[in-house]
Amino acid sequence: MGTMGLFQKKPRCPNCNSVLQAKPGRKQECPYCKKYIFVRDGELVTKEQATILNWLNTLECLGITRKDFDEQRGKLSKKLGIQASVNDTLWRIFNNLIISIECDKVAMEQVYREMAKLVSSEGKDPTPYLVEAEKIRKQRSDELVQTDKQVFLGHDELKYIRNLRKEGKLDKAEELLIKAEPSPAVLDELRKIASKRAKVAKNNSDWEAVVQFLESYTTYANRWREHCKNMVSQEPPAHTESDIKLLQEAKNRLAGRMT
């Protein structure tokens, strides 16, 4: 056995400290404690540690280091009397940043967008933070500030809206999507909502509503077709084949009533 094998540390689960047969190269479940092991920069870490590292990578451009995170967590934990959660620590950091970088509009916009990302991960409405980010962006562009204008929805905000749709909270999901910049991803969520509404209408034999829901999406998508193509060189998502057949069925049934 070479010296590398002789002195190489045996990999251990960061959760339960059990010795592992082999070092994971990516996320996997520990065979002993059944908790997930994450890999960051070649090191095995817990889910919480991975979350902290992910956020620190994002916040590096705002000057936040691991030392800053640990100091803020320590202060907050002392105040609360218990170990502060990762999210509570991040909120403390964000609130401090808003005060300290007030004159830096670029950084302020990013802070609000990261706050929207964090609140989305908590299953809450990110709109207020996205609106603030958009106001700052428009201030930087010397544009008129109007809080009812479109906001940009990122991956995490869309995930929050997707969960609303899956939970059946279609009105709330649609309200947020209509306020958003009509990217293909946003339009795809609106398409899925229209599809879900149309299927419910079919079950109720409400064929007029089936046509209304599906054609309303088509009208909205056509309105923003050129915007999507200019934005990402992509057409708005079209209805699925099953929804196209459903629309035709609804039209046929309505035509049959009139004959």
Q: What is the mean pLDDT of residues 86-115?
A: 90
pLDDT band at 3 (very low <50, low <70, confident <90, very high): very low
Let me know whether 76 and 148 are in one domain. Answer: no
- Per-residue pLDDT, 8: 65
Average pLDDT, the chain: 88
pLDDT band at 180 (very low <50, low <70, confident <90, very high): confident
- Per-residue pLDDT, 137: 80
Domain assignment present for residue 258? The answer is: yes
Let me know whether 197 and 249 are in one domain. Answer: yes
Domain assignment present for residue 8? The answer is: no
Let me know whether 162 and 190 are in one domain. Answer: no
Q: In the β-sheet with 43-45, what is the strand arrangement from edge to edge?
A: 28-29, 36-40, 43-45
Last residue of a domain, one of 146, 162, 181: 181
pLDDT tens figures, 125-160 = 999 999 898 888 877 665 434 434 467 787 788 888
Domain assignment present for residue 242? The answer is: yes
Last residue of a domain, one of 181, 196, 223: 181
Q: What is the C-alpha radius of gyration for the chain, rounded to an integer number of angstroms?
A: 25
Domain assignment present for residue 1? The answer is: no
- Per-residue pLDDT, 9: 76
Let me know whether 75 and 148 are in one domain. Answer: no
In three-state secondary structure terms, 67 is helix
Let me know whether 198 and 164 are in one domain. Answer: no
Domain assignment present for residue 107? The answer is: no
- Per-residue pLDDT, 194: 95
- Per-residue pLDDT, 1: 37
Cα–Cα distances in Å, from 257 out to 92, 202, 207, 252?
Answer: 62, 16, 11, 9
Q: What is the mean pLDDT of residues 59-65?
A: 86
Domain assignment present for residue 106? The answer is: no
Last residue of a domain, one of 74, 100, 126: 100
Question: Which stretch of 4-13, 55-64, 84-93, 117-126 has the lowest confidence by average pLDDT?
Answer: 4-13
Let me know whether 94 and 127 are in one domain. Answer: no
pLDDT tens figures, 220-244 = 999 998 888 887 788 899 999 999 9
- Per-residue pLDDT, 144: 39
Domain assignment present for residue 93? The answer is: yes
Domain assignment present for residue 128? The answer is: yes
Q: What is the mean pLDDT of residues 11-17?
A: 95
pLDDT band at 74 (very low <50, low <70, confident <90, very high): very high
Residue 193: partners with Cβ closer than 8 Å, 6 or more residues away: 165, 170, 173, 174, 177
Higher pLDDT, 102 or 27: 27
Let me know whether 194 and 256 are in one domain. Answer: yes
- Per-residue pLDDT, 155: 78
Measured between alpha carbons, how far apart are the two ends of the chain, in Å? 88
Q: Which of 256, 241, 259 is nearest to 207 (CA)?
A: 256
Cα–Cα distances in Å, from 178 out to 56, 183, 189?
Answer: 32, 11, 10
**Does 60 have pLDDT greater than 90?**
no
Residue 228: partners with Cβ closer than 8 Å, 6 or more residues away: 182, 183, 184, 187, 234, 235, 236
Q: Which two tokens stand for residue 4?
A: 């590398």
- Per-residue pLDDT, 145: 40
Let me know whether 134 and 85 are in one domain. Answer: no
Overall domain count for the chain: 3
- Judge whether 236 and 187 are in contact, CB under 8 Å: yes
Let me know whether 159 and 187 are in one domain. Answer: no
Let me know whether 255 and 211 are in one domain. Answer: yes
| Domain span including residue 60 | 43-100
Let me know whether 129 and 162 are in one domain. Answer: yes
In this structure, the strands spanning 43-45 and 36-40 are antiparallel
What percentage of the chain reaches a pLDDT higher than 70? Answer: 92
- Per-residue pLDDT, 182: 87
In this structure, the strands spanning 36-40 and 28-29 are antiparallel
Higher pLDDT, 2 or 187: 187
